[in-house]
Amino acid sequence: MVDFQQKKHYSIDDLIDIVRLLRGEGGCPWDREQTHESIKSDFIEETCEAIEAIDLKDTELLREELGDVLLQVVFHCRIEEEKSSFNFDDVCDEICQKLIVRHPHVFGEITVDSTGEVLKNWDAIKMKTKGQETYTDTLESVAKSLPALMRAQKVGKRAMRAGMDFRCADDVIACISAEKAEFDKAFAEGDKKHIEEEIGDLLFSCVNAARHIGIDAELALKASTDKFIKRFSVTENLIISDKTDMKNLSIEEIDVYWDKAKHIINSEEIEND
């Protein structure tokens, strides 16, 4: 058993100490084996669960999930501390330094009148501190590990800040139509690589359209996916109520149930309104 005093209430220092003990001699074999690479997917999973808690407006769940995210931060810091690279205090110091530098209107002498000015200053300071000399540098710095829609939206937003954006909503729609035509042509040709390229361009145009009119593409697709699952569930229940297996039906027959499910859901939504 490790030397540790249990308490009724713990702090960040205790969390750091617990992770140190888990990784140390006499600690947990699993924890000791982990590397940045072996647990990096856990970081994504814990972050997504925290986001889900926010979406659910579940305060208690959010508190729990933020703890799981914090554990990931402390764990990765401990791995580096064991290599004498940096520790949790260094991470805290760096983010504090960054926040102070990027908020000169709060911690310095600069005056701003709007959120727009704050963001403009933020971008300028960020480019300077990160050594980004061109707008292309700012686009390339967007993490490639981000979900594709989120990354596309962020790249488009940074291009917009450089002055490259659609003039109006009609131009956005025209771009989608043009990309759809190119996709149709590629599909007719049957070249899979070309089809992949064109469907990517079409998706990118849709993301830019969403951004241009103030819609988060990631959230929009999430909502559509949730809507599909709900309709699928109602469709399946209708099929089951007729003592039938969905796999034994043709797509045309399933479509009949799908339309019924859509009508049921729409009716429920009208009643709820």
Contacts with 129 (C-beta within 8 Å, 6 or more apart), sequence order: 98, 101, 102
Q: Model's pTM, two decimal places?
A: 0.69
User: What fold characterizes domain 12-86?
Assistant: Helix Hairpins (1.10.287)
Contacts with 19 (C-beta within 8 Å, 6 or more apart), sequence order: 31, 71, 74, 75, 78
Share of the chain above pLDDT 70, in %: 100
SS (H, E, C) 207-233: HHHHHHCCCCHHHHHHHHHHHHHHHHH
Q: What is the Cα–Cα distance from 142 to 152, expressed in whole angstroms?
A: 9
**What are the sequence ranges of the domains in the chain?**
12-86, 166-215, 219-272
Decide if pLDDT at 272 tops 80: no
How much is the pLDDT for 273?
A: 64
Q: What is the Cα–Cα distance from 57 to 54, expressed in whole angstroms?
A: 5
φ, ψ of residue 28 in degrees (nearest 5)? -95, 125
How much is the pLDDT for 90?
A: 98
